[in-house]
Structure 1
Amino acid sequence: MAWLSLILAGLCEALGVVTINKLNNSRNWQSLLVLILGFGASFVFLAYAMKTLPMGTAYAIWTGIGSAGGALLGIMIYGESKDWRRIACIAVILGAAVGLKLVG
C-alpha cells in the first residue's frame, strides 16, 4: 500500500507542477484550488508512504515521478519539445527511481 501511496503522491505532484503553469497563464480561483489540492494530496500520500518506506527512497521516487510526470504533461498539454534527448533524460529519471526500488 505504501508504494501505491507513493505513486499517487508523485502523480499529484506532477498535477501541481502543471497547474503552476496554468495559473501563470490564467489567474483564476479554480486553478489555484487545483494547485493547492494537488500539492496537498501529494504531501499527504508521501507522508503515508514514508511510514513504511525509507525516507531517501521515498523522496527520490516522489521527486522522480513528479519531475518526469511534469515534463511529460508539459509535452502533452503545452506542446513542449519532444526532442529525443529530452525523452531520454526523462527515461533516465524513471530508470533511476526503479533502480532505487530494486536495490532497496
Structure 2
Amino acid sequence: MIETVIRKRIEILTDTALVKRVTSAIDKAGITGWTVTPVNSGKGRDGHWREERVMGTDKVFVLTVASQDKAMSLAEDLAPILSSHGLLLTMWDVEVIRGERF
C-alpha cells in the first residue's frame, strides 16, 4: 500500500503584478516549488471581475504545497499585504505521496 503524508495546499489569488513578491515569499519560506495559473474572471463581495491586461490588474492563482511550518511562515510573510493588496490566501490539509519533496 502507498503511504501518504499530510501537507498544506496553499492557493493565493493575486494580481499578476504581485507574482514576483508572492513567489519570492514562497522561496524565502523554504518551499521548493510553485505553479502560476492564469484566472480569467470571478466574483467576490465587490461583484464580478474579469482579467484586465490593459490596466495590469489581471489575476493569477499561485499554487504550492508545503509542510505546516513552512506554510505558516509563508502566511506570516504575506499577512501584511493580504488586505492592502487584495490577495486571497487559502490553505487546507491534503494527502501527498513522496512527502519528503514538500
Which interval holds the TM-score relative to the shorter structure?
under 0.3
Q: TM-score, normalised by structure 2?
A: 0.26
Between Structure 1 and Structure 2, which shows a larger proportion of strand residues?
2
Q: TM-score, normalised by structure 1?
A: 0.26
Higher relative contact order (CA 8 A, sep 6+): 2
